[in-house]
Structure formats: C-alpha cells, structure tokens
Structure 1
C-alpha cells in the first residue's frame, strides 16, 4: 500500500459523515473526481445562492452524471433579496461578507447539524490559503491535494481525463460564485456584460445611492460607469496588455494560469475562500 492509498484508507475508517463541498469551480470538482470510489457514503453538496452563472449549474449537472451520485443542493430558501433587505440595502463587500455567511456557511452548518463531519476541501499544494474552517468542533477539515502534493497541473489532468474539462466560464472569469460577486476583477465584470447582459443589468439594478451613501459592487466606480463604451474598450485593451506580459514572463504556463494572473493583477483584493474552492 503506497502513501496515498494509506491516506484514503485512514480517511475512510474515520467514523462520521464524509462531505465534499462543491463550488462549481475547477478545484472542488477535481477533488470530487479524485475521491470518487475511495470514501464510504461520501456526500456531495452545493450551497446554491440562486444567483450563480448558468455555466455553473450546467457544470454541476455534468459532474453529477459523472459521479453517478446526487449532489445535494442546499440553499437558504429566503434568498439574496431577503438578506439584502435585512441589511438595509447594503450590498455585501470584502469588509462585510454577509452573503457568504447567510447563503453559504449557515446552510451548510444547518445541514450537518451536530454530526461528526469530515469536510474535504479542494485547496492545492501550490496555494497559500486554508479555505473555510468551521468554528463548530464537529466539522473537521481534510486537504487531500495538500497532503498528496497535487498542484494546478494535476487538477487540469483530472478534469481532462474525466471528460469534464474546465467550466466554460473560465474563458472569461476565474472564480465560481454569484454572477455579481463583488470580488470580480474589472475584466470579469466586462466579461459578464458581454456574455450575460441580463445578469449584468440585474447586478447594476442592485446599485443604489441612499442618503448620500453609495452601495456599489465596486468601490471605485459604478457598473453604469464601467459599461460605458470607452471604458469597456480601455478594460479590454489593458487586459490584453497584462495577458501578453504574463505570456512573456511565464511562456510555458497554461492559458488558464496566464488569464488568471492577468485578471488578478487588475485589483488587490483576493477572492472569497468559500465560493472560490
């Protein structure tokens, strides 16, 4: 028995529920594939905000067919608009991530209750983050990719060999989550405008001015400003410059990494560890 097989045997022997939380992104999907058939009665869950991209739902359907196991769709039932009203119209932000708490964390913790849970998290060995660690003592994290040294190339291999490939939104966006996620980079907002104009309009409609206080998704400009033709041209031009710079700097890296690096260089905020797994 090699070290990886020993790990699988050790995890499988642990009493309690074994849960893989899916985001609709590449890493959690690759983890579900990696663990397929290796854990007893594994549960696959997806916390649905009901505001996800169409590509995310399509990708989850494909994964469910591949796994031949149901993916439990959890949601708060009251939805984003309810909590927006409860927070006085204040849009979620990096400083106040009520969307993560109310639409992701709380439905998950309600679902598992007080059961002993082993939560398998798809963070890779080449990442410097830990993801969501519950404060509840009955929920214990396990990081198979970190323990086994799997990196981005391994994730891409798992997805290709399964036939699923990458989610289609990776052509223009580097994170799963709500269509109007405030962590989106400038180029991703432009991509939403071009790929899903109705969803862009929905996001724009949420922006308001109340009593002189701006509730915008982006701190520096409203979506009405971002969508102006000259601004859109500028965004595209600057993205191509960054992408070419990444190609020159790292000529042997896959396109997904180059696009991600080009997008990340536009803004300083890091993505949400819950939605981006």
Structure 2
C-alpha cells in the first residue's frame, strides 16, 4: 500500500505565502499549514496569522525550534547571523520544517511569483517535492495583492514600514526599516542593540554592516528624509500604485539583496 502524500504550505506572515494559502485552501482541503516560530517575531506577524486562521477557517501548526534564538546564538559563539552566515534560517526554520515532515512523501507549496527570477527551495530532502503555483499560473505581485484584498485578509500591518517578514532584528532590514523599528517598537530596537553590544569578551557585532544601531539611529532624520524623497519620486512615477508596492520598490533601491525564502515569502 502506497504511503499517502502530505501537502504542506509554510506561512511566514508575509503577503506571498498568505495569498498562496488563500488560493489553495479550497483546492487542497487536506493542506497542512505551518509557521516556524523563532519567538523573535513582531506582534504584527502573530496578529496577521490569527487573521488568516479566522478568515480561512484553517489550522496553523506553530513549529518551534527545540531551543530559542539565544541558545543557538550561544552555540555559534555569540556570532550574530548575517547574510554570509545564515545559521538562524537553518536551525530555526529549515530543521523544524524537515522534522515536521519527517520521512513522509510531501509536496511543499512555495509562494514564489511569476515575476520573480528565482526558484529557491529551502530543503533538499528527496521526499519533499517543491511546487510553485504562482509561477505555474502566471501570477505576479499585483495578483497577490488583489487575492489578499478580495479575501478580506488584506496586507500585513507591518507593510506600512517594512517590506519583509521575519525576526524583528533581521539583518536583511534596510536602514529605514531599522529606524522605523525604533519608532514602532522601541523596546524591540533596544533588544537588538543589546545583542550587538553585550559580549563578555569585548567583541562588538553589528546587525547592519559598518554601522552600529546607535550610530544608525543618530542619523534617523537623514535616513527618513532620504526615504521620503524617494517615496515622492516613486509616487510621482506611478501614482496609482498601492503604497505597499511603492514602499517595497523604494526599499529595494537601497538594498536589492534577496532574503531567506523561509522568512520572507
């Protein structure tokens, strides 16, 4: 007797994976939805997941790494994760996902859009087959926003000031996003500073290359003014574009480096 194939969809709290859940929840009624919880997420992320559950009537499995961020930070010698050393994604996203699936044959549905030039896959286990419904159906960013608006779920609240989901101290944040974190969640910004500064051997690490968060915040007026000019330019060039799209376009001008798929989609 052949083993039943599981259907799994990872939610990150971002727009793409959320729209994919809307698209597929009736097509695949036995879909298993999961969220890899690092316990360092924004409250807006948890609130958005609650909204998705309520609107779609689905269950979300919250997968927690066996130990939290601080445990893995200690195991890595106090070295903060970075684009070159993404141990956070491996230990707190990929491994919990692979443990959730185990050795069962599974199809993993991934929210990469047709207008994105990437085919990233967060697991190499042979029993997990990746599928890209947006690419298969030719759906682009405008379609994703439409799907979310028509569902009544809408866009994540943090998209007012941040274009990516993930931990509140994610090293992929742009300068403006760090400044806005300090404004929206000053307590979390102080926690991020503590991770930079509190090393018993005197080392100093920085979340953003070449600049501490205190130095960055001292330049907040300059950073905000530069951002507002870019937003005005973007709005003038595309006056009918949704605010979230304009924000994402402006932030990508500052840094177009792609974040980890498990956190961002």
After TM superposition, the structure 1 stretch with the greater mean CA deviation from structure 2, 241-250 or 138-147, is: 241-250
The 2-side partners of 1:240 and 1:143 are apart by 35
1:185-207 CA-to-partner distances (Å, cap 9, x unmatched) read 11100110000000000111000
The 8 Å contact of residues 121 and 131 in structure 1, kept in 2 or not, is answered as no
**C-alpha separation between the residues in 1 aligned to 2:98 and 2:153?**
29
Distance in 1 between residues matched to 2:31 and 2:236, nearest whole Å: 43
Q: Does 1:61 align with 2:40?
A: no
- CA displacement, residues 18-52 of structure 1 (integer Å, 9 cap, x when unaligned): 00100000110000000011114110000000000
CA distance in 1, matches of 2:135, 2:51: 26
Establish whether residue 149 from structure 1 lines up as the match of residue 132 from structure 2. Answer: no
User: 1:92 aligned to 2:78?
Assistant: no
Give the 3-state SS of the residue equivalent to 2:108 in structure 1: strand
**RMSD over aligned Cα atoms:** 1.6
| Length-normalised TM-score, structure 2 | 0.94
1:185/1:107 Cα in 2 relative to 1: closer, same or farther (>3 Å)?
A: same
Q: Which has the larger displacement, 153-162 or 44-53?
A: 153-162
Query: Take 2:154 and 2:214, find their aligned partners in 1: how far apart are those partners?
Result: 34
The 5-angstrom pairing of residues 1-277 of structure 1 reads 15-208=4-197, 213-228=203-218, 231-277=219-265
Secondary structure of the structure 1 residue equivalent to 2:232: helix
| Other structure's SS at 2:45 match | helix
Cα separation, 1, equivalents of 2:30 and 2:256:
40
The secondary structure found in structure 2 opposite 1:274 is: helix
Q: Distance in 1 between matches of 2:232 and 2:93?
A: 36
Gaps of 5+ in 1: 1-13
**TM-score under structure 1 normalisation?**
0.91
The answer to which of 236-245 and 180-189 deviates more is 236-245
Aligned residues: 262
* Unmatched segments (≥5 aa) in structure 2: none
2:120/2:261 contact within 8 Å kept: yes
The runs of at least 4 aligned residues of structure 1 exceeding 6 Å deviation read none
- Asked whether the 8 Å contact 1:124–1:152 carries over to 2, the reply is yes
